Amino acid sequence: MKIALVGYGKMGHAIEEIAVEKGHEIVLRIGIENLEAFTKENIAKADVAIEFTSPHSAVENIKTCVDAGVAVVCGSTGWLQQLPEIEHYVSAANGAFLYASNFSVGVNLFFELNSFLAQLMRKHHDYHVTLEEIHHTQKKDAPSGTAITLAEQVMRYITGKKQWVNHTSDNEAELEIISERIDPAPGTHKIKYSSYIDDIEIIHTAHNRKGFASGAVMAAEFLYNKKGIFSMKEVLGF
């Protein structure tokens, strides 16, 4: 498989290492030093583009890849208010697109665990639920896309929570997400249910970027030669 890396920072380098180990070819690397090379002609050399950039550039990057007829795996977060627009754009072009707030297999298992626990807790109104996430200081968005996914899963079942907020709150209708930025933390996410009797917590802690990178390559392998819009649920068979 021929891969274009759109975003060649630490994550792009980690993805390249794993992709090459698995026998794939990196045909294009786009970083801040060579943005002029990000053209439809160059992108078209790839079978799949893996996009890890920033909230400000992700949407246009995805569209450029779709216009070139190249499948897109996107891991940029902080732009999801435009996800319906992108899904419509991909469908209209008969393209292939896969977005995930987190590609780690462990985190996606954690998502399933979070949903199951929220279902169990929805009738136990004595418990107050909060979220906490910790990332490195270069993380541009807060809360993380992973934390937002976790919050939305919780609110699906804990219906008293109407919206998430990125600060402490005394409003029972608001789900707190507390964000910290500490180096060199790759990512920790905690969901805590507290009562006056006890606490219940589930925690996922990443030790390095390898889990995210290997999941992104797995997603690209899944998307290769497909059309449509997918998620990590299809990749992992959930």
Q: Where in the chain is the domain with CATH 3.30.360.10?
A: 105-205
Q: SS3 string of 32-95?
A: HHHHHHCCHHHHCCCCEEEECCCCCCHHHHHHHHHHCCCEEEECCCCCHHHHHHHHHHHHHCCC
Q: Is the pLDDT of residue 138 over 80?
A: no
- C-beta pairs of 149-155 under 8 Å, 24+ apart in sequence: 149/101, 149/102, 149/111, 150/111, 150/114, 150/189, 150/191, 151/175, 151/177, 153/111, 153/114, 153/115, 153/118, 154/114, 154/118, 154/129, 154/191
Q: What value does the mean pLDDT of the chain take?
A: 94
Q: Is the pLDDT of residue 93 over 90?
A: yes
Active site residue 139: yes
pLDDT digits (tens, 9 = 90+) for 176-198: 999 999 888 778 999 999 999 99
Distance CA 127, CA 150 (A): 17
pLDDT at 84: 96
The catalytically annotated residue of 2, 24, 135, 140 is: 135
Distance CA 201, CA 72 (A): 35
The catalytically annotated residue of 45, 124, 139, 189 is: 139
Q: Where in the chain is the domain with CATH 3.40.50.720?
A: 2-103+210-236
73: buried, middle or exposed (CB in 10 Å: 19+, 13-18, 0-12)?
Answer: buried
Active site residue 190: no
pLDDT at 33: 93
- Fold (topology level) of 105-205: Dihydrodipicolinate Reductase; domain 2 (3.30.360)
- Please tell me the pTM assigned to this model: 0.82
CATH architecture assigned to 2-103+210-236: 3-Layer(aba) Sandwich (3.40)
Q: What is the DSSP string of 170-200?
A: --TTEEEEEEEE-TT---EEEEEEE-SS-EE
Q: Is the pLDDT of residue 135 over 90?
A: no
At 77, is the pLDDT very low, low, confident or very high (cuts 50, 70, 90)? confident
Q: Is the pLDDT of residue 228 over 80?
A: yes
Q: How many CA atoms lie within 13 A of 147 on its CB side?
A: 28
The pLDDT of 161-188, averaged and rounded, is 92
Q: Which 3 state secondary structure label does DSSP give 2?
A: strand
pLDDT at 189: 95
CB burial of 157-168 (b: ≥16 within 10 Å; e: otherwise) equals bbeebeebebee
pLDDT at 103: 92
pLDDT digits (tens, 9 = 90+) for 2-35: 999 999 988 999 999 999 999 999 999 999 999 9
